[in-house]
Amino acid sequence: MARKAHASETPATQWLKAHKVAYTEHLYDYVDHGGTAESSRQLGVPEHEVVKTLVMEDESARPLIVLMHGDRQVSLKNLARQIGTRKVAPCKPEVAQRHSGFLVGGTSPFGTRKAMPVYVEASVLGLPRILINGGRRGYLVGIAPAVLVDLLGAKPVECAGAE
């Protein structure tokens, strides 16, 4: 199946352009519940380099974003302890969509509807390049991980659990 070489703009790509971030575009055929395993398979990249954007909330229902390797889970206990809150849990899909402005499966940390604190698994920052959602299902952007800290203000945490 022929893929388009270029995706139309999203709030995420508008944000990246406004901040003069160099990025590459990677389109794939979105599969419901395929997650990063599906995108990494189609794009021929290690799942460890595909970073998922997870919208979560603390015990007061305040939203936050966690950026994690595609092949790892978030240890909610470790995350809560490191960010100084009692509890962290994933948002329901409709709540995540309301906070981010993106459909679940197409959530990007860039250009979100609501400003939220962003946390990134520290080991992600050691990769030479990452693929992360570009604001649409079936669309990843390749960027230098330093962008997450330098421009997004992501705080490094160590909360990776086994897949």
Return d(Cα 80, Cα 56) in angstroms, integer.
Answer: 11
Q: What percentage of the chain exceeds 90 in pLDDT?
A: 91
Residues of the domain holding 33: 26-161
Residue 57 within a domain: yes
User: Is a pLDDT exceeding 90 seen at residue 12?
Assistant: yes
User: Is a pLDDT exceeding 50 seen at residue 45?
Assistant: yes
Residue 121 within a domain: yes
Residue 15 within a domain: no
Residue 87 within a domain: yes
pTM: 0.93
Q: Are strands 24-27 and 130-136 parallel, antiparallel or unpaired?
A: unpaired
Residue 2: pLDDT band (50, 70, 90) is very low
Work out how many domains the chain is built from and give that number. 1
* pLDDT score recorded for residue 162: 59
Residue 5 within a domain: no
Reduce the secondary structure of 105-134 to three states and give it as a string.
Answer: CCCCCCCCCCCCCEEEEHHHHHCCCEEEEE
User: Is a pLDDT exceeding 60 seen at residue 160?
Assistant: yes
pLDDT tens readout for residues 110-155 = 999 999 999 999 999 999 999 999 999 999 999 999 999 999 999 9
Question: What does the longest C-alpha to C-alpha distance in the chain come to?
Answer: 48
Listed residue (55, 72, 47) closest to 109, CA to CA:
55
What is the CATH classification number for the domain harbouring 53?
3.90.960.10
Residue 81 within a domain: yes
Mean of the per-residue pLDDT values for the chain?
Answer: 93
Residue 130 within a domain: yes
Residue 21 within a domain: no
Which residues is 82 bridged to in the sheet? none
* Helix residue ranges per DSSP H, the chain: 11-18, 35-43, 76-83, 93-100, 146-150
* pLDDT score recorded for residue 95: 96
